[in-house]
Amino acid sequence: MAQIDLKDLAHSYASRPQSDADYALKRLDMIWQDSGAYALLGPSGCGKTTMLNIISGLLRPSQGRVVFDGRDVTDLSPQDRNIAQVFQFPVIYDTMTVFDNLAFPLRNRGVNEGEARKRVEEVAEMLELSDDLRRRAAGLTADAKQKISLGRGLVRSDVAAILFDEPLTVINPHMKWLLRRKLKQVHEQFQITLIYVTHDQNEALTFAEQVVVMHEGQVVQTGTPQELFEKPAHTFVAYFIGSPGMNLLPCRLDGGAVVIDGEHIALADGLGARAERAGGELQLGIRPEFLKLHATQVEQGIPVRVKLVEDLGNYKMVTVRLGERTLQAKVPEDEEVGGEQAWLVFPPEWLRLYVDGHLVE
């Protein structure tokens, strides 16, 4: 296993990049800790595959160095970096048995047959492939084939890291959930550095200890699922994470409060002053889960108009208007949401301020 350092790294597919926009990966320094379970999360085109392929060695960065445990590997092939990569679509040999498919990466590296067998059986057991080991891979379902692909990534105990590029795309939803749990177990058991690319926040948040969020070629935040939820460092993370995302409201400061459509909302001590010092375009952020909705007037309650109440099983999603602004509040299913008039309470501990998109700490 290895710690992976990306030093002064950037990549452009253009031969003569002119501006920032020409970079699929903008300049960054980053450390992937040894034995970490990471998800690399972001929308299509944000640069996830580019980042992964630079780490694996499939792509040479146009700038900077890739370092594994202090050793510069920038010019080494994936083979020489000792990286296993699992792709979106299964890469297996149809004419071989499941056993031989799994043993292939080990035999290829000269691992003796006894050791290979032990390891293959261990991984097959973990992925619930033990009963299929003697079967030929041809004719297996897409799910089973992708399990073999995962298995081929997992059999080698000597890899620096295993990289997954949206490996569960072709898998049915129930199996997806099972395989994600399996990967988590594998990580706990073998303590392998895992980097898992996905554009699906549920996948990222359930699998990873650390989630790296990318946006337009940049890493905008690295944090635990809880940190991303509670303290998004950037408005992109605020609305990308969560279902729905964070409410983000343009506002102005007035002492220790923000003003939205003439209404004053009190902030935690000192936050307003720090935002003032940062200067720039200001937005108030609060997650729908942390807003408190009341049918009658309460202290600190801001009057709002209820526009829509959606019953979503174990909670209700309420859409309200505060002056010209629309917000969503997630309320318990048994809470009565009466008429059009309601009052919203904004708990100061859950209020975040963003200046030009960046969190005021």
**Minimum distance from CB of 344 to ligand ATP (Å)?**
36
Q: Which of 1, 46, 54, 66 touches ligand ATP (CB under 6 A)? A: 46
Instruction: Report if residue 285 touches ligand ATP, rule: CB under 6 A.
Output: no
Instruction: Report if residue 57 touches ligand ATP, rule: CB under 6 A.
Output: no
**Minimum distance from CB of 238 to ligand ATP (Å)?**
19
DSSP 234: B
Instruction: Report if residue 48 touches ligand ATP, rule: CB under 6 A.
Output: yes
Helix boundaries (H) for the chain: 48-56, 78-81, 98-108, 113-126, 142-154, 173-190, 201-207, 225-230, 235-240, 271-278
Instruction: Report if residue 47 touches ligand ATP, rule: CB under 6 A.
Output: yes
Q: How far apart are CA 184 and CA 224, in angstroms?
A: 15
Q: What is the largest CA-CA distance in the chain?
A: 75
Neighbours of 357 (CB within 10 A): 17
**Minimum distance from CB of 11 to ligand ATP (Å)?**
8
- Residue located via tokens 């959606």: 310
- Helix, strand, coil shares of the chain as percentages rounded to 5? 30, 35, 35
The DSSP secondary structure of 103-169, one letter per residue, reads: HHHHHHTT--HHHHHHHHHHHHHHTT-GGGTTSBSTT--HHHHHHHHHHHHHS-TT-SEEEEESTTT
Q: Which of 49, 201, 222, 247 touches ligand ATP (CB under 6 A)? A: 49
Under rule CB under 6 A, which residues in 167-196 are in contact with ligand ATP?
A: none
Instruction: Report if residue 85 touches ligand ATP, rule: CB under 6 A.
Output: no
Q: Are strands 341-345 and 292-294 parallel, antiparallel or unpaired?
A: antiparallel
Question: Residues touching ligand ATP: how many (CB under 6 A)?
Answer: 11
Report the Cα 35 to chain-centroid distance in Å: 17
Q: Which is nearer to ligand ATP, 36 or 42 (CB)?
A: 42
Report the Cα 159 to chain-centroid distance in Å: 23
Q: Which of 42, 105, 272, 285 touches ligand ATP (CB under 6 A)? A: 42
Q: Which is nearer to ligand ATP, 208 or 304 (CB)?
A: 208
Helix axes 98-108, 113-126, angle to 10 degrees: 130
Q: Which is nearer to ligand ATP, 21 or 31 (CB)?
A: 21
Q: Which of 199, 215, 287, 330 touches ligand ATP (CB under 6 A)? A: 199
Q: How far apart are CA 85 and CA 52, in angstroms?
A: 9
Q: Which of 15, 44, 226, 243 touches ligand ATP (CB under 6 A)? A: 44
Neighbours of 167 (CB within 10 A): 27
Single out the segment in contact with ligand ATP by CB under 6 A; choices: 38-46, 125-133, 175-183, 272-280: 38-46
Q: Which is nearer to ligand ATP, 53 or 328 (CB)?
A: 53
**Minimum distance from CB of 28 to ligand ATP (Å)?**
14
**Minimum distance from CB of 169 to ligand ATP (Å)?**
10
Q: Which is nearer to ligand ATP, 239 or 315 (CB)?
A: 239
Instruction: Report if residue 243 touches ligand ATP, rule: CB under 6 A.
Output: no
Nearest to 246 by CA among 201, 277, 313: 201
> Taking a C-beta distance cutoff of 8 angstroms, is the pair 64, 8 a contact?
yes
**Contact letters for ligand ATP, residues 4-33 (x by CB under 6 A):** ---------x----------x---------
Q: Which of 20, 45, 138, 244 touches ligand ATP (CB under 6 A)? A: 45
Q: Which is nearer to ligand ATP, 44 or 296 (CB)?
A: 44
Single out the segment in contact with ligand ATP by CB under 6 A; choices: 48-56, 108-116, 238-246, 350-358: 48-56
Provide the binding-site residues for ligand ATP, judged by CB under 6 A.
Answer: 13, 24, 42, 44-50, 199
